[in-house]
Amino acid sequence: MSTRRRFISQLSQASTLAFLPLHVQDLFAASSVNQDTIIDEVEIVRLTGSHKVIPGLHRQYQAKPIHIYPDQHPAPYSDNVNAKETTEKLVHDYLRIRTKGGLSGMYGAIDAEAITPILKQLRPFLIGKDALAGETLWDQLYRNNRHARAGHYMMALSAVDNTLWDLRGKKFNAPVYELLGGPTRKDVRVYGSCLGFTVEKGKVAPRAKQLYDQGFLHQKWFLAYSPGDGNAGLKKNIDLVEELRAALGFDAEIMFDAYMGWDLPFATAWCKAVEKFRPYWIEEAFSPERLDNFIQLSRSTSIPVATGEHFYGRWEAQNFLREGAIQIVQADPEWCGGVSELVKICNIASSFGAKVFPHGHAIHATLHVVASQSPEVCPLVEYLINHVAHKMHFQKEPLLTTNGILPLPQKPGFGIALDEAKIESQQVITS
């Protein structure tokens, strides 16, 4: 390598490491940039296998914006108590990045929407770059596309960022949370996200009490009814809160998710009716472009207002916090820009006295970021009770809990290892 190229490479690496703790900077500095860390391949590993499912059980729908149209509104839900277990085909995609020196990072399962931008736009740019230059690569990828601020491109960038963190963890033989500054606790408590559990009156209380007794002291339930259901739907949403509080007492924390399905009058009426039951938050009452609605709702209720799983970067989070629109940020490291961006969002939130509960449709990146942050800023990890095992089906030692506690992984990177016994076929895709 020429003197000029070496100098430029060193400058690039220095800017990349500036945001890391000093002891981690020392680790990186001790390993000069060489061909061993140059990205040689970016590929999708498609895994196919079989898994057990019970059709008609734990399939409760949630309120959605499109439900204002009667022909788009689902029929009332009821668990099929006679449903029988069956076997279905399962396909998951993982992103793998390899270097010339044999280093490899992996992350997944990733969203299908991210695959095309990964292969068509990000892959050609990444090959030949230094895998350790995380901040430089993130910034260059973001600046390289005029649509990078949101959507599928940002989801693709997130997958790349997370995969590179896994690779760096393996390079330095450390879990990702160690690279982020070290753990702030020995294990992490989760909140049980109850997506799929029926909200039929009389069936909620026994389920919630069972989960609480197992160790899920924090539970999030999904509201099934929206303005299209009128006052009757509003009453059912109120009844759900009352039933849960009666079943769990005031020791439990209960949260509620409206999945962008409400309007301001509906949300305001619900909040006014349930304030006495002290919900921990109301999540995504509106879609995130409706900033004014969030501002008005926050001003009208004592219930903390949450949103952010559909934030695509620190700028959106800052806008909401600056306007006092929310008190809880729920950015998703698989959508908002990866581990690198979620850490920045946590820093911004802390300056506003807000909390960050990262959206957790998957666990790995969320767990490692939360473990590295102050418990004041990031108290809990979201855990989708009915979905985590499915999302980690092809992994050895998946991050599962039955008591509401996740011990911190000790393996390098994210500790993702594939279980060959569950893989019936495997395809590597590069274009």
Q: What is the pLDDT of residues 31-56, one digit of tens each?
A: 555 789 999 999 999 999 999 999 99
Please indicate whether residue 5 or residue 262 has the higher confidence score (pLDDT). 262
Using the structure block, give the residue that is written with the tokens 């076997």: 87
- Is residue 402 situated within a structural domain? yes
- Is residue 255 situated within a structural domain? yes
Within the chain, how many helices (H) and strands (E) appear? 15, 13
pLDDT at position 35 is 84
Please indicate whether residue 169 or residue 2 has the higher confidence score (pLDDT). 169
- Is residue 25 situated within a structural domain? no
- The sheet carrying 39-53 orders its strands as 104-108, 86-99, 39-53, 425-429
pLDDT beyond 50 at 3: no
pLDDT at position 203 is 97
Whether 216 contacts 191, CB under 8 Å: yes
| Residue 316 in tokens | 């959106």
Supply the CATH number for residue 356's domain: 3.20.20.120
pLDDT in tens, 289-348: 999 999 999 999 999 999 999 999 999 999 999 999 999 999 999 999 999 999 999 999
Q: How far apart are CA 49 and CA 88, in angstroms?
A: 9
Q: How many independent structural domains does the chain possess? A: 1
User: Average pLDDT of the chain?
Assistant: 93
pTM (global) more than 0.85: yes
Residue 148: asked if its preceding bond is cis (omega within 30°), the reply is: no
The CA radius of gyration of the chain, in Å to the nearest whole number, is 22
pLDDT at position 71 is 96
pLDDT at position 415 is 97
Q: How far apart are CA 112 and CA 123, in angstroms?
A: 16
| Residue 142 in tokens | 């973001």
- Strand boundaries in 302-397, DSSP class E: 305-307, 328-329, 355-356, 381-384
Given pLDDT bands bounded at 50, 70 and 90, which one contains residue 222? very high
Q: How far apart are the first and last CA of the chain?
A: 30
- Structural domain including 389 reads 179-419
- Is residue 198 situated within a structural domain? yes
Question: How crowded is the C-beta side of 377, counted as CA atoms within 13 Å?
Answer: 19
Amino acid at 257: D
- Is residue 219 situated within a structural domain? yes
- Strand boundaries in 39-165, DSSP class E: 39-53, 86-99, 104-108
Q: Tell me if residue 187 falls in helix, strand or coil.
A: strand
Given pLDDT bands bounded at 50, 70 and 90, which one contains residue 22? low
- Is residue 241 situated within a structural domain? yes
- Strand boundaries in 100-178, DSSP class E: 104-108
pLDDT at position 8 is 40
- Is residue 199 situated within a structural domain? yes
pLDDT in tens, 149-206: 899 999 999 999 999 999 999 999 999 999 999 999 999 999 999 999 999 999 999 9
Residues with Cβ within 8 Å of residue 212, at least 6 apart in sequence: 219, 248, 252
Q: How far apart are CA 230 and CA 116, in angstroms?
A: 41
Residues with Cβ within 8 Å of residue 281, at least 6 apart in sequence: 255, 256, 303, 304, 305, 306, 327, 328
Q: Tell me if residue 303 falls in helix, strand or coil.
A: coil
pLDDT at position 11 is 43
pLDDT at position 7 is 40
pLDDT at position 32 is 52
- Lowest mean pLDDT, pick from 9-23, 70-84, 178-192, 378-392: 9-23
pLDDT beyond 50 at 403: yes
- Is residue 153 situated within a structural domain? no
Residues with Cβ within 8 Å of residue 258, at least 6 apart in sequence: 62, 63, 223, 226, 267, 282, 283, 284, 285
Please indicate whether residue 81 or residue 234 has the higher confidence score (pLDDT). 234
- Lowest mean pLDDT, pick from 34-38, 273-277, 313-317, 349-353: 34-38
pLDDT beyond 90 at 14: no
Q: Buried b / exposed e across 345-382, counting CB within 10 Å, b at 16+? A: bbebbbebebbbbbbbbbbbbbbbbbbbbeeebbbbbb
Amino acid at 79: D
Give Dmax (Cα) for the chain: 73
